[in-house]
Structure 1
Amino acid sequence: MATNSAYNEIKRKITSSKRGTLFFPDSFAQMASSDAIRSALVRLCKDGDIIRVAQGIYCYPKIDTKWGSGVVPPSIEDIANGIAKRDKVRIVPTGAYVLNVLGLSKQVPANVVFFTDGSSRKVSVGKGNGILFKHTSEMRTFAYRSKLMLLIVMALREIGDENITELQMNIIKGHLKNVPTGDFQKDILLAPIWVRKKLQQV
């Protein structure tokens, strides 16, 4: 059981942080023992100060004050980015998730896939959902200046040269307007040749 001093110190660190911040047990390793940390996190969850979003992952959640819907859980991408930051690895979203983010598909995947230069593994988030990290040695090819440009390229790679529709290209054209010209000119050089040709024709 967490001592009151350990509990108070952990709670103070959490509540002084920005809402939406993710925490892991080792975020408090300098404050208390493993058992005390675990006990404090369980208590903070019961008290409604934090929420548990996955095994060993907690969030000091944002609160919707505009519409009154209460606690706003972190997005899958927020959780993935939090894990990547903790593990000091890089990640890149891919698959059906990217298509959904850009409005190119209505499909919402149960498992969101990220390429990483870290180890391959799956993190369960909620019932039947998860984050799948797939190791790749090609992370340098994803070093885009513009995140939007990265998403566009990953989406085209997912769809394939022969399968992309005119409607999808029109949606991509709309997104490209939000990519700074300087970023586009540098990032286009990182894209596969067929993707490069598609985007230069838009």
Structure 2
Amino acid sequence: MAEQSVYNEIKRRIESAKRGTLFFPDGFASFGSSDAVRSALVRLCRANILIRVAQGIYYYPKIDTKWGSGIIPPSIEDIAESIAKRDKVRIAPTGAYVLNLLGLSTQIPANIVFVTDGSQRRVSIGKGKGILFKHTSEMRIFAYRSQMMRLIVTALREIGEDNVTEGQMEIIKSHLENVQPEDFQKDIQLAPIWVRKKLSALI
């Protein structure tokens, strides 16, 4: 297939997708050679149809039509989830990022860490920022029925038993309202004993 045809096919595929979709060159492998695909993606970026958010990751930008503020960038979570889906692996946010997600800390780390049952790697996103996938053999992290419970338990483990403040426990209590009682009863069994005690005291 000629380069122009590859470009037209890829452009058609992208423009028929939902805005906010992330694309990888591998997804267009059936359209032509890797060089032709790469060339088409570069041209689409120059034409402002796509945005390259990291090496080998392209974004069909979502546009803010309500406030007119322009392009809405993809979240770190969106990028990480797309990579996990492509690689057919499971991931879970961890570290200081989880504290920020739950409003337990205002600090946003430059490197967002996810544990994965896949291989360890780092993806650079912008200057000095990135996503770090750390391999874990602790499979119970992927066994939670409630994503909120997984975040809460991860956050408490990150803070540490002796460092949790009353203010933080109040915030956690408000998040627990979003957990179904049957999910709580199952997921609490996956938490360390000290976390179980603290969370059970809030219910």
1:139 offset after TM fit, Å?
2.3
1:145 offset after TM fit, Å?
0.9
Q: Any runs of at least 4 consecutive aligned residues in structure 1 with deviations exceeding 3 A, and if so which?
A: none
Partners in 2 of 1:7 and 1:121 — Cα distance?
30
1:142 offset after TM fit, Å?
3.0
Matches within 5 A, 1:7-86: 7-86=7-86
**Is the counterpart of residue 100 in structure 1 residue 124 in structure 2?**
no
Partners in 2 of 1:111 and 1:100 — Cα distance?
13
Matches within 5 A, 1:130-141: 130-141=130-141
Matches within 5 A, 1:45-194: 45-194=45-194
Give the number of aligned pairs.
Answer: 201
Paired residue secondary structure (1:197):
helix
Contact 2:90 2:142 in 1 (8 A): no
Read off the aligned partner of 1:128 and give its amino acid letter.
G
Partners in 1 of 2:182 and 2:17 — Cα distance?
35
| 1:71-105 CA distance string (max 9 Å, x none) | 11111111111111111111010000000010000
**Structure 2 match to 1:200:** 200
Partners in 2 of 1:18 and 1:149 — Cα distance?
30
1:141 offset after TM fit, Å?
3.8
Unaligned 5+ segments in structure 2 are none
| 1:116-168 CA distance string (max 9 Å, x none) | 11111111001110001110111234311111111111100100000000000
Give the TM-score normalised by structure 2: 0.96
1:8 offset after TM fit, Å?
1.0
1:3 offset after TM fit, Å?
1.8
CA RMSD, 1 decimal: 1.0
Give the TM-score normalised by structure 1: 0.97
Paired residue secondary structure (1:127):
coil
Partners in 2 of 1:42 and 1:69 — Cα distance?
25
Read off the aligned partner of 2:14 and give its amino acid letter.
I
Read off the aligned partner of 1:96 and give its amino acid letter.
A
Read off the aligned partner of 1:117 and give its amino acid letter.
D
1:15 offset after TM fit, Å?
1.2
1:61 offset after TM fit, Å?
1.4
